[in-house]
Amino acid sequence: MDQQISAQQKNSVNGPSAQVADPTAGYDGERPIHSGETAQYISFTIGNEEYGVDIMAVREIKGWTNTTPLPNTPDYMVGVLNLRGVIVPVFDLRCRFNEGRTKATDKHVFIIVAVGDRTIGILVDAVSDILTVSANEILAVPSADRAIDDVFLTGLVTVKNRMVALLELEHLFDPQSVPEVDGSDVEALN
Amino acid sequence: MSEQPTGFDDLAQFKQTFFEECGELLGDLEIMLMDLQGNPENATTDDLNAIFRAVHSIKGGAGAFGFTQLVTFAHTFETLLDGMREGNVPVTLGCVEELIRATDILCDLVNAAKENANLPDNHGAEITAALVALTASGAGAGAFKNNLDANEDPKIEASDEDEITVFDVWFKPAAHLFSNGSDPIMIFNELQTLGQVEITPDVSGLPALHSLESEESFLAWALKVTTNRGQVSVEEAFEFVEDDCGLVINAATSPDFPLQIRDIAVAAPVNSVVTPPPATPLPSATAPGPQTPAAKSPSAPTATSIRVDLDRVDQLVNMVGELVITQSMLNQLTNVEEGGVQTSNPDMVKGLEQLNMHTRELQESVMAIRMQPVKSVFSRMPRLVRELAAKLSKKVTLVTSGEETEVDKTVIEQLADPLMHMIRNSLDHGIEGPAERREAGKPELATVNLSAEHRSGRILIEVSDDGLGINRERVFEKATEKGLVPTDIKLSDNEIDNLIFLPGFSTAETVSDVSGRGVGMDVVRRNINNLGGRITVNSTPGRGSRFTMSLPLTLAVLEGMVVAVGVEKFVLPLTSIIETIRPNAEHVHTLVGQGEVLSVRGDYVPVVYLSRVFAIPDAAEKAAGGLVVLVDLANGRRIGIVVDELLGQQQVVIKSLEPNSPHISGISAATILGNGMVALILDIDGLQSLPQHDMSRKKMTGENGGRGQTRASQTETGKVEQCQSVGIEKEVRRIMEDQANLGVSIPSQYGQKPEQAAAE
């Protein structure tokens, strides 16, 4: 069930007129500044919730395989897998959002994405769709109690009465930050 | 080639090559001048020629790229060298030292050009003045040539400068000559500056038009050069094409004159001058194109080589690594024990065995590509020693051995700084002044030994001196001053010696301007460890100290022992394993605050449970009756690692976890086993400092997906070295956060500073 999104497919879909969202643009911690541009997202489900990631960041979709756990890592880090010779860490998105661990079966799926110079995998329940969204359809995330939403989502879109939350990948699984703790704590160490 | 229009991109590529070559030439220059400095009376024309050529090449390239400052200086440099090799200027120690200083300026200018920086116009002005003065002071036409000649091999006839000689030159370029950008017309032009030249081409080598390759050379020439500049000048004109042609130069009085051009094989030795032509006709000159010429005379010892982009080599190494993995997968398929299929096909078995062998050979060859002799690193040391000794007014000599020992290129690059640092330490702290040495009955001249050798699959590099050894009192004092150890702790001699490796120990009270980096021994140790190596120290007070670095031969592949802990597999570096024991209960003891120790032949070795350190459920709980693997640590200590099973020894390809995954303490890298699964390679030095999870509360339930809930509790107080690692602090903090989220309370020990924890 390995499915690589070919470069051609990406290019042809974006077309000459639309400006594609630069995958790094949104990941500087700022909101992407599109105006009237369209971008594409791959949407997937975690339980009843639907999320989307920038299609330009997605490298492939991999069926579930066994992973090797990395000791002494946060719970949401499932482990590492062998992607054609490259060691890729895999993260449980459900767990990252504090909704418990995913009971992975062979129906689950890894979305392999490129974030900066890292390649990582995200464990999701299922992939739903490819969405074409124009910038003015993206709504800001309403400020909520849960601190996670603010940092890890870049916006919301409504697609056929479904709400899709668009993920910001860079800080989601940043190896530098201690989970749920502000980075300045790390500085205080010896 | 690039798709962009030629111009900037190509120029940049050539510049890159030029700077790489400059780097090599400057390196060679330094070595040659060092040799000369040690022995100026025995300088030969050959030596001076080689030095001249190096500077000349740099000047030529610099001219092509328009680095005017560099060209001007190189020209002055070259003029002096020319004077020296012609015998006009005597080769004295003072002169050589100026040359060495000039090389430094040359280096500065090259670096400035490389970085596009601007050096002031008068940079190196005094050196320039000195060079000019020396050139001018030359006594004139070959006054000192006799000295050079006396040192010369009688092989080359030194021709008298003023006398006009006619030289017969046979020149037959190899077919590929033009591909190097060489053009015979340029050579002939240069010859014409020497005097009169008569040129007769020989077109007998031209093939029929339809088989003519437009970019290859098929012509040969017979030249008659009338000059007073001596044979050397004539030879020099052909210098850049030496390797690519057949060339015979004879003074016309020689009886070899009527030799047919056609008969000169391209592979003829180039530097021969007086060699008589073979009695039988040489093989036809249409030798297959780019055949490398036969070995040249001993004065040009370099083997033929090609320049390869390091990326390509890395890619090759990677592919071979993948091949090893695939091959071990195949092996596994026919390995019944691992769940493979028993094959009754003997051909298949034989085929697989051969595949094994070939893969291993291929791997060794490919690894060898990246190997370079440590000479390139060692060669910088004598100068360092000389300068530092002079500055500190001590008499020191550096003795090197094993320079030809080969090491992976990446290792070499990382070696330079640690070596320099250790030698600096040695001279600074270890070696006494001459008066002090005399009083102690030691020879005034102190010796620093630098050696490299292969031993049991690793490279051993030693830096030792015959100085005072480590001043243990002072070291202990400093360590307690800086709060690195509690004042009342009792340490063995060896433990005190190892204190110098603690972070925070480095002094840098006076930052020496030789390296000026102020790095401490802790950085040295870390660098060596990062290379997969270890560094140990041995010291005898009053007699000297010895630092031993043990480095792996290659960085890409590891001989490993695969072990099982619970359902997980890990890889231990085989070279660190001393032995495996199945201890009896009576050999396992519990030490208060330290965890368990194993008594092994009278020694007590701390025991580490991988299951606890990595929170692996369903693994061996007891060392007694279990399997304990005894390993050697970088600091010379030993620990015993409790595992469930030994699964076998195999070569594994090292795959880095970074940059994709975070760094994990206790894990150095990963590899891919024959079944395609990832196995983690243990960093045994990092294991001891990890907190142990209390596995007694673990549960393995479906919900948790196989990673048991654990409650961390520290069963080992931090030992001195362990508490220094920031890694453990991070681990502890992270666990605290996790547990705080789960609402579990933590022993107060976690909140203390490491020193306090250690003191308890």
- Dump pLDDT digits (tens) for B541-586: 888 999 999 887 766 677 889 999 988 999 998 888 989 989 888 8
Write down the pLDDT at residue B32. Answer: 85
Contact assignment for A71 to B705 by CB distance below 8 Å: no
Which residues in chain A are contacts of B707 at CB distance < 8 A?
69, 75
Q: Determine the distance in angstroms separating the CA of B73 from the nearest CA of chain A, rounded to an integer.
A: 44
Partner residue opposite A80 with nearest CB, options B678, B724, B733: B678
Q: Sign of dihedral through CA atoms B229, B231, B234, B238?
A: negative
The model's pLDDT over B339-367, given as tens digits with 9 standing for 90+, comes to 556 666 778 888 888 998 898 889 888 88
**Cα-based angle B247, B248, B254 (whole degrees, multiple of 5):** 170
A185 occurs within a structural domain: no
Is residue A75 a part of any domain in this protein?
Answer: yes
Using a CB-CB cut-off of 8 Å, the residues of chain B touching A101 are 703-705
Q: Is the pLDDT of residue B508 over 80?
A: no
Phi-psi sector, A155: left (phi>0), alpha (psi -120 to 50), beta = left
| DSSP structure class, residue B587 | G
Average pLDDT over residues B622-648: 84
Q: Tell me the C-alpha to C-alpha distance, in Å, between residue B38 and each of A120, A123, B42, B388, B578.
A: 58, 67, 9, 17, 46
Residue from the list A71, A81, A186 with its beta carbon closest to the beta carbon of B730: A186
* Number of domains forming the structure of chain A: 1
Contact A101 B703 (CB under 8 A): yes
Residue B208 above 70 pLDDT? yes
Is residue B685 within 8 A of residue B529, CB to CB? The reply is: yes
Residue B677 with chain A: CB contacts under 8 Å: 66, 68, 82
Instruction: Examine the pLDDT at B269 and tell me if it is beyond 50.
Output: no
Of residues A86, A101, A190, nearest to B729 (C-beta): A190
Q: How many CA atoms are closer than 13 Å to the CA of B223, on its beta-carbon side? A: 30
Positive or negative CA dihedral for B142, B148, B152, B154?
positive
Chain A residues in contact with chain B using a Cβ-Cβ cutoff of 8 Å: 66-75, 78-82, 85-89, 100-104, 117-120, 175, 178-181, 185-186, 189-190
**Chains A, B: CB contacts under 8 A, how many?**
106
pLDDT, mean of residues B371-399:
86
Question: B509 exposed, middle or buried (CB, 10 Å; 0-12, 13-18, 19+)?
Answer: exposed
The domain that holds A90 is classified in CATH as: 2.40.50.180
Q: Which domain, by its residues, includes A69? A: 3-175
Nearest CB among B659, B677, B690 relative to A118 is that of B659
Is the Cβ–Cβ distance between B167 and B233 less than 8 Å? no
Q: How far is CA B7 from CA A57, B1, B12, B296, in A?
A: 35, 12, 9, 37
Would you state the pLDDT for residue B580?
A: 92
State residue B144's pLDDT score.
66
Residues of B in contact with A72 (CB under 8 A): 614-615, 664-666, 690, 731
- Residue A184 resides in a domain: no
Sign of the dihedral through C-alpha B28, B29, B30, B34: positive
What is the rounded radius of gyration, in angstroms, for the C-alpha atoms of chain A? 16
Q: Which amino acid is at B89?
A: V
Q: Is the pLDDT of residue B121 over 70?
A: yes
Distance CA B558, CA B564 (A): 18
Judge whether B568 and B637 are in contact, CB under 8 Å.
no
- Residue B112 near residue B102, CB atoms below 8 Å: no
Check B660 against A88: CB less than 8 A apart.
yes
Give, to the nearest 10 degrees, the angle between helix B381-392 and helix B409-425.
Answer: 10
Q: How confident is the model at residue B462 (pLDDT cuts 50, 70, 90)?
A: very high
Asked if B726's CB is within 8 angstroms of A71's CB, the reply is no
The CA distances from residue A58 to A3, A38, A125, B230, in Å, are 11, 17, 16, 71
- DSSP letter for A178, please: P
Q: Which of B558, B532, B302 is nearest to B415 (CA)?
A: B532
Taking 70 as the pLDDT cut, the residues of chain A under it are: 1-36, 143-150, 175-190
Q: State residue A53's pLDDT score.
A: 93
Q: Is residue A190 part of a domain?
A: no
Neighboring chain A residues of B750 at a CB cutoff of 8 Å: none
B392-429 pLDDT, tens digit each: 888 888 899 998 888 888 788 888 888 888 888 888 88
Q: Which among B259, B281, B194, B203 has a CA at the least distance from the CA of B231? A: B194
pLDDT at position B545, please?
A: 92
Strand partners, B711: B694
* Domain at B558-712, CATH class: mainly beta
Which one is the CATH code of B8-151: 1.10.110.30, 1.20.120.1200, 1.20.120.160, 1.10.8.590?
1.20.120.160
Whether B63 and B170 have beta carbons less than 8 Å apart is answered as no
Task: Give the pLDDT score at B40.
Answer: 79
pLDDT, averaged across chain B: 75
Our CA-based measurement puts residue A189 at a distance from the nearest CA of chain B, in whole angstroms, of 7
Which of the listed ranges B315-329, B385-399, B625-639 does the model predict with the highest average pLDDT? Answer: B385-399
- Pick the range with the lowest mean pLDDT from B52-61, B143-152, B155-164, B750-759: B750-759
* CB contacts, 8 Å: B656 with chain A: 87
Contacts of B616 in chain A (CB under 8 A): 71
pLDDT tens-digit map of B617-634: 888 777 777 889 999 876
Residue type, A59: R
Question: CATH for B373-552?
Answer: 3.30.565.10
> What DSSP character marks residue B428?
I
Per-residue pLDDT band for B150 (boundaries 50, 70, 90) equals low
Cβ of A87 within 8 Å of Cβ of B702? The answer is no
- Per-residue pLDDT of A26-72, as tens digits, reads 444 444 545 568 889 999 999 899 999 999 999 999 999 989 999 88
Indicate whether A130 belongs to any domain. yes
Cα separation of A188 and B330, whole Å? 51
CB-based contact B737:A181 (threshold 8 Å): yes
Residue B237 in this model has a pLDDT that exceeds 90: no
Question: Between B515 and B740, where is the model more confident?
Answer: B740
Looking at the structure, give the CATH architecture of the domain made up of residues B165-263: 2-Layer Sandwich (3.30)
Greatest mean pLDDT range, B133-147, B283-297, B572-586: B572-586
Residue A88 inside a domain? The answer is: yes
B611 min Cα distance to partner chain A (Å): 10
In chain A, residues with a C-beta closer than 8 Å to the C-beta of B731 are: 72
